């Protein structure tokens, strides 16, 4: 019978009753990360590219339009950005792949940071954009 670990030494690993059966004492490895941190940063970068692309498309669509349809183009772009950030990002976050999870989380974080730093103008959630 072995003595239980004291908890002071992290190299001892978990007690025997927490170790999977058949795994030796020295073979304990902590579980791998569930989200790729590098892909979170890549998702934020991808969000910046997506945001600029959708914004330029909305501006191009609203150049020759009257003021009423100008608001429709901006509103559609804002709705599209929310769907991309949270629809696609949430779908990727629900995936089993840790890289996909990181990318989805990065898209959502990118949307939130863009909204905060631009006071909602670059994501279309600022109500001042829709006044006549």
Inside any domain, residue 121: yes
Residue 58 within any structural domain of the chain: yes
Q: Is the pLDDT of residue 93 over 70?
A: yes
- Provide the number of structural domains found in the chain: 1
DSSP string across 26-87: GG--PPPPSS-HHHHHHHHHHHHHHHHHHHHHHHHHHSSS-HHHHHHHHHHHHHHHHIIIII
27 within domain boundaries: no
Packed helices 37-62 and 67-82: angle between N→C axes, nearest 10 degrees:
170
Q: Which of 99, 100, 79, 80 is nearest to 91 (CA)?
A: 100
* Euclidean distance between CA atoms 63 and 50, whole angstroms: 20
Q: What is the pTM of this model?
A: 0.71
| Residue ranges making up the domain that contains 107 | 38-126
Residue 19 lies in a domain: no
On whether residue 120 sits in a domain, the answer given is yes
Token duo for residue 122: 């670059």
Q: What is the pLDDT of residues 2-61, one digit of tens each?
A: 555 555 555 555 565 666 666 666 556 666 678 899 999 999 999 999 999 998 988 888
Q: Does 7 fall in a domain?
A: no
Tens of pLDDT, residue by residue over 108-124, are 999 999 999 999 888 88
CA–CA separation, 91 vs 125, rounded Å? 22
In a domain, residue 110? The reply is yes
Contact 129, 74 (CB under 8 A): yes
Domain-located, residue 30: no
What pLDDT shows up at residue 15?
A: 61
pLDDT at position 81 over 70 = yes
């Amino acid at each position: 019978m072995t003595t239980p670990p004291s908890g002071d030494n992290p190299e001892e690993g978990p007690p025997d009753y927490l170790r999977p059966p058949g795994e030796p004492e020295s073979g304990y490895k902590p579980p791998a990360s569930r989200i790729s941190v590098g892909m979170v940063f890549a998702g934020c970068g991808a969000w910046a590219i997506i945001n600029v692309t959708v914004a330029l498309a909305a501006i191009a669509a609203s150049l020759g339009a009257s003021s009423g349809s100008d608001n429709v183009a901006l509103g559609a772009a804002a709705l599209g950005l929310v769907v991309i950030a949270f629809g696609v990002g949430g779908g990727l976050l629900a995936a089993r792949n840790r890289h996909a999870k990181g990318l989805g989380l990065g898209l959502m974080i990118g949307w939130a940071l863009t909204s905060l730093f631009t006071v909602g103008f670059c994501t279309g959630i600022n109500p001042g954009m829709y006044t006549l």
